[in-house]
Chain A
Amino acid sequence: MVYSIASTDSALSVVISSEVIDARELGAKLVQKIRTEKLSLIRFTLDGDNWSSRTLAAIRIVDEAIRKEGAVSDYSKLPAGVSKILTISQPTVDADKEDDRKTSADFLTLVGEQTLAALKEAQEVFKFLLESLAALKQMIRGKAQYQKSDLLSFIHAVGPQALAIVGLVNLLLGVILAFMGAVQLQQFGAQLYVANLVSLGLTREIAPMMTAIILAGRTGAAYAAQLGTMQVNEEIDALQTFGFSPIEFLVLPRMVALALMTPLLVLFADAIGIFGGYLVGVLLLDIGGVEYATQTRNAIDLGDIVLGVAKGSFYGVLVAITGCLQGMRSGRSASAVGNAATSAVVSGIVAIIFATALFAVLTNALGI
């Protein structure tokens, strides 16, 4: 034990050493003593001169317990510094406030609150979409307030700067598709059809989807983080008080940049992915170069490419919407900006996959 208790006439003397003590256990013991011996004054003494916040925190806990019993603590035997600090830490009338924030609610309340929150969110998303459309209309009429230089720099960041990563990923996708197909098709001696698989699969499905996913990670997250930081920095407030519409000024150029660049990136991805398949076909599957090219040429027509590019543009718009929406809705703290970037990527990718599935069903049903 690193404390000792001794009772004199009406006071209880507690000697506490600088070692660790179990404050709650000591408190309980004291409370018991107070009750049985009807004491009202507890005198604290420190054993030795060493003390740290550990000692003080322990005394505070003990103090709280005995205060509830109506006893009074006496710090006068403690070193001057200790008694002063302990007095400061004692609850004052107005600082001893209850934490009135909501802590728990029953199940039904929770369901209700969640539903209302979800409805409100849906409303916000809808409002954001309407405002974006209105901004686009303003832009077409040449009345939107935005900086041309912003638009150009976003186009540069979305398009040319993404070429390397989009190229690399799609080249590898072409290679992977070719290998995957070759293993199966070789069994039938039909490895030439690798060209069909690669070119059709890439242009119609894979290239647009993967390009959009890269954009969601690269650009969607960046947009959310940029807009979120501007929110933290009150920059968006400043735009508003100058009468600028944040949607026109910040969201519009970002959306337009993505909508313009995604189709071009998808075309680039198509070409480089088909080249990846060509490398595998010619170098590893012993298909002649001209033969592979002719097979590819016959496998796809303009419609396939157009369909892929159209899908890609749609995904690009989805990435822009999720990125900008999360950024504009971001809270004003560092973690809120992080959350905004995360949800931009997650909701962007989920939206892309959903749209891909929807397109697959639709194109099948319509026979495109």
Chain B
Amino acid sequence: MRSETYKISVRNLTMAYGDFVIQRDLNFDVNSGEIFIIMGDSGSGKSSLLKHMIGLNSPQQGEVYYGEENFWSTDEETRKSLSRRFGVLYQSGALWSSMTLAQNVSLPLSTYTDYSATEIADITSFKLSLVGLAGFEEYYPSEISGGMKKRAGLARAMALDPEILFFDEPSAGLDPISSKRLDDLIMELRDGLGATIVMVTHELASIFAIGDRGIFVDADARTQTALGSIAELRRAPPTAKVAEFLSRGSAPSETLETS
């Protein structure tokens, strides 16, 4: 069904607010079909990096490529059509509060496809059932719990069968069981849809359970200090901070078995 999946390439990216540089010289590729983790300590600009990749913040320097397309130098129309190929799950779900869950999921469908109304309704309930929210079509975001909002946000992110899914701290604020379920769901989606997944998280359990490769952005060094497969980073962390991060603060030598 999918014609081509993109490889995302970030080249020499510098992110800044005014004069304040958050991160500089970021270089990495996200291969299609992998689960790529953006790690980092608090305030390192993980979420900002995600925002630069999905087109919310424009980089001060450097490029973000989707396949061959340079996201920031291409024209508005191409940029919009690129955006339509990825889905984003925001930290709080970011559901449109004036619409029901069904309307939230169906709006992208009714805008960007020529499916009939019944078909759209069917797809909508199917997507909601994928995240365990069947029967909640007519609920408003204010009427459901935080975890449900997050799942509904995921259903909306998947509405257009995206090739790339971005997650901003998906397990933040979830209990361990829901967080595990969300991880499983993400894995299933990757395997089922063949989607590429880029995830900002510092949940070690998730990182070890589902992450393929990852990047570590350091708040003090203000650039990336580690890049590679999660297993490799765990075995041979390039810096003391990465070692500490991946072992939940224990001494670099005695790595904790978390998963």
Q: CA A227 – CA B161 in complex, angstroms?
A: 29
| Cα(A145)–Cα(B84), bound, Å | 15
> Within the assembled complex, what's the spacing in Å between the Cα atoms of A230 and B83?
20
A235/B83 in contact, CB under 8 A: no
- Which interface residue of A234, A239, A242 has the most chain B CB atoms within 10 A? A242
The 8 Å CB contact of A241, one of B81, B83, B95, is B83
- Provide the B74-95 mask, 1 if CB < 8 A to any CB of A, else 0: 0000001101101010111011
Can you list 21 A-B contacts (CB < 8 A)? A147-B107, A229-B97, A230-B97, A233-B92, A233-B97, A234-B92, A235-B95, A235-B96, A235-B97, A237-B90, A238-B94, A238-B95, A239-B96, A241-B55, A241-B83, A241-B88, A242-B83, A242-B108, A242-B111, A243-B80, A243-B84
Residues in B whose Cβ lies below 8 Å from that of A145: 111
The docked-state distance in angstroms from the alpha carbon of A18 to that of B111 is 69
How far, in whole Å, are A230 and B84 apart by their CA atoms in the complex? 21
- Find chain A residues with CB under 8 A from B112 CB: 243
A141-185 interface with B by 8 A CB criterion: 145, 147, 150
Contact partner of B94 (CB less than 8 A), chosen from A233, A243, A244, is: A233
A186 within 8 Å of B (CB atoms): no
Known: A235-B97, A240-B55. 12 other contacts (CB 8 A): A235-B95, A237-B56, A237-B94, A238-B90, A241-B54, A241-B56, A241-B86, A242-B83, A242-B84, A242-B111, A243-B83, A243-B112
Q: Does B259 sit within 8 A of A, measured CB to CB? A: no
Query: Within 8 Å of chain A (Cβ to Cβ): is B116?
Result: no
Considering only residues 147-163 of chain B, those with a C-beta below 8 Å from chain A are 156
Interface flags, A203-237, vs B, CB<8A=1, else 0: 00000000000000000000000000110011101
How many residues of A are in contact with the other chain, CB < 8 A? Answer: 16
Minimal Cβ-Cβ distance residue in B for A237: B56
User: How close is A102's CB to chain B, nearest CB, in angstroms?
Assistant: 10
Write the residues of chain B forming the contact surface with A, with a CB cutoff of 8 angstroms. 51, 54-56, 80-81, 83-84, 86, 88, 90-92, 94-98, 107-108, 111-112, 156
Contact partners of B51 in chain A: CB under 8 A: 237
Which residue on chain B has the smallest CB distance to residue A240? B56
A150 touches B88 (CB 8 A): no
B97 cross-chain contacts in A, Cβ below 8 A: 229-230, 233, 235
On A, residues with C-beta under 8 Å from B are 145, 147, 150, 229-230, 233-235, 237-244
Taking the closest CB of chain B, its distance from the CB of A138, in whole angstroms, is 13
Which residue among B86, B96, B98, B111 has the maximum number of chain A CB atoms within 10 Å of its CB? Answer: B96
Q: Inter-chain contact count A-B, CB under 8 Å?
A: 49
Are A234 and B55 closer than 8 Å at their CB atoms?
A: no
Residues of A within 8 A of B91 (CB): 234
Contact between B96 and A238, CB atoms less than 8 A apart: yes
Nearest CB of chain B from residue A96's CB, rounded to whole Å:
14
**Shortest beta-carbon distance, A356 to chain B, in Å?**
34
Q: How far is the CA of A92 from the CA of B96 in the complex (A)?
A: 44
- Please name all residues of chain A whose beta carbon is closer than 8 Å to the beta carbon of B94 when the two chains form the complex: 233-235, 237-238
Residues of B within 8 A of A240 (CB): 55-56, 83
Tell me the minimal C-beta distance from A71 to chain B in angstroms: 31
A147, B111: Cα distance in complex, Å: 10
Residues of chain A lying within 8 A (CB to CB) of residue B80:
243
With a cutoff of 8 Å between Cβ atoms, the chain B residues found around residue A234 in the complex are 90-92, 94
Chain B residues with Cβ under 8 A from A238's Cβ?
88, 90, 94-96, 156
Measured CB to CB, the closest approach of chain A to B38, in angstroms, equals 16
Q: Which residues does chain A contribute within 8 Å of B86, judged by CB atoms?
A: 241
B96 to chain A, nearest CB (A): 5
Question: Within the assembled complex, what's the spacing in Å between the Cα atoms of A236 and B11?
Answer: 27
Q: Are B98 and A150 in contact, CB atoms less than 8 angstroms apart? A: yes
Give 8 nearest A-B pairs by CB, closest first. Answer: A234-B94, A243-B80, A238-B94, A234-B90, A241-B88, A243-B83, A243-B84, A241-B54
Residues of chain A with a CB closer than 8 A to B54's CB? 241
Min C-beta distance of B4 to chain A, whole Å: 19
With A and B bound together, what is the CA distance between A145 and B108 in angstroms? 11
CA distance A52 to B243 in the complex (A): 38
- Which residues does chain A contribute within 8 Å of B56, judged by CB atoms? 237, 240-241
Q: Least Cβ distance of A100 to chain B in Å? A: 10
Residue of A nearest to B91 (CB): A234
Report the minimal beta-carbon distance from B155 to chain A, rounded to whole angstroms.
13
Most buried by B among A147, A239, A241: A241
> How many Å lie between the Cα of A233 and that of B55 in the bound state?
18
Residues of B within 8 A of A233 (CB): 92, 94, 97
Q: How far is the CA of A235 from the CA of B92 in the complex (A)?
A: 10
Q: How far is the CB of A174 from chain B (nearest CB, A)?
A: 37
Q: Give the complex CA separation of A235 and B104 in angstroms.
A: 11
Across the two chains, which residue of chain B brings its CB closest to A230?
A: B97
Within the complex, the shortest CB–CB distance from A130 to chain B, in Å, comes to 14
Chain A: minimal CB distance from B124 (Å) = 15
In the complex, A145→B94 CA distance in Å? Answer: 19
Contacts of A242 in B (CB 8 A): 83-84, 107-108, 111
Q: How far is the CB of B20 from chain A (nearest CB, A)?
A: 10
**Closest beta carbon of chain A to B219's beta carbon, Å:** 11
Give the distance in Å from the alpha carbon of A239 to the alpha carbon of B98 in the complex: 13
Closest to A236 in B: B94
* Residues in A neighbouring B88, C-beta threshold 8 A: 237-238, 241
Distance in Å: Cβ of A198 to nearest Cβ of chain B? 41
CA distance A46 to B210 in the complex (A): 53
A240 and B156 alpha carbons, distance in the complex (Å): 14
Question: How many whole Å from A255's CB to the nearest CB in chain B?
Answer: 17
Chain A CB within 10 A, most for which of B86, B92, B94, B107 = B94
Q: How far is the CB of A110 from chain B (nearest CB, A)?
A: 16
Q: How far is the CA of A303 from the CA of B250 in the complex (A)?
A: 82
